[in-house]
């Protein structure tokens, strides 16, 4: 059976999904942003001596704030009552790699995948903004790592 897009009606017009009949369940999602930069830029980032300030603390706050604003940033996204958002930033396994892990949780009728992805994305963007004066070549990719809860259950990359 071919799955259909949920945010498009029968005529192909965008719509917000009606979640009023869905069950309230505990939902979690974790997203990862993998950031690539020069080895010297990563050393500067973790030294706490970035000219603009404490880049890691600012990126964590930016990610948490962004998760809370997801419905304002992503069209057709439901506003949900987040119960927890956590953003962790660590050095990656490869030289010059930084990893952002963002976790979102709620007890609601729809998932928190978009909130976790938004948190990871904005934290990565903030790191770029904080270090761009020394490394314009910074790049990153973002992916959902796992989600739990709701009718579809658990999913893991």
- Domain ranges, residue 97: 25-147
**Domain presence at residue 112:** yes
**Domain presence at residue 13:** no
Give the neighbor-by-neighbor strand order of the sheet with 82-91. Answer: 82-91, 97-108, 25-36, 139-148, 155-156
* Dist CA 67 CA 29 (whole Å): 12
**Domain presence at residue 43:** yes
Q: Where are the alpha helices (DSSP H) in 27-54?
A: 39-47
Which DSSP symbol is given to 93? Answer: S
CATH number of the structural domain spanning residue 73: 3.30.70.640
pLDDT for the residue 1: 58
**Domain presence at residue 2:** no
Q: Any idea how long the chain is?
A: 157
pLDDT for the residue 150: 86
Told to judge if 129 belongs to the known catalytic residues of this protein, a careful annotator would answer yes
* Dist CA 90 CA 16 (whole Å): 36
Into how many domains does the chain fold? 1
Mean pLDDT by groups of 10 residues along the chain of 157 residues? 70 76 90 98 95 95 98 92 98 95 95 97 98 97 96 91
**Which residue in 9, 54, 72, 129 is the catalytic one?**
129
pLDDT for the residue 2: 64
């Amino acid at each position: 059976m071919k799955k259909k897009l949920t945010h498009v009606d029968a005529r192909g017009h965008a719509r917000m999904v009606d979640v009023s009949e869905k069950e309230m369940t505990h939902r979690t999602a974790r997203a990862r942003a993998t950031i690539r930069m020069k080895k010297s830029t990563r050393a500067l980032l973790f030294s706490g001596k970035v000219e603009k300030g404490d880049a890691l603390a600012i990126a964590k706050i930016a990610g948490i704030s962004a998760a809370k604003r997801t419905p304002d940033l992503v069209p057709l996204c439901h506003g949900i009552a987040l119960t927890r958002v956590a953003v962790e930033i660590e050095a990656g396994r490869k030289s010059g790699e930084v990893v952002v892990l963002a976790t979102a949780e709620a007890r609601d009728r729809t998932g928190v995948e978009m909130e976790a992805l938004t948190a990871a994305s904005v934290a990565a963007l903030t790191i770029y903004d904080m270090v761009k004066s020394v490394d314009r070549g910074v790049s990153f990719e973002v992916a959902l790592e796992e989600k739990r809860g709701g009718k579809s259950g658990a999913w893991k990359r």
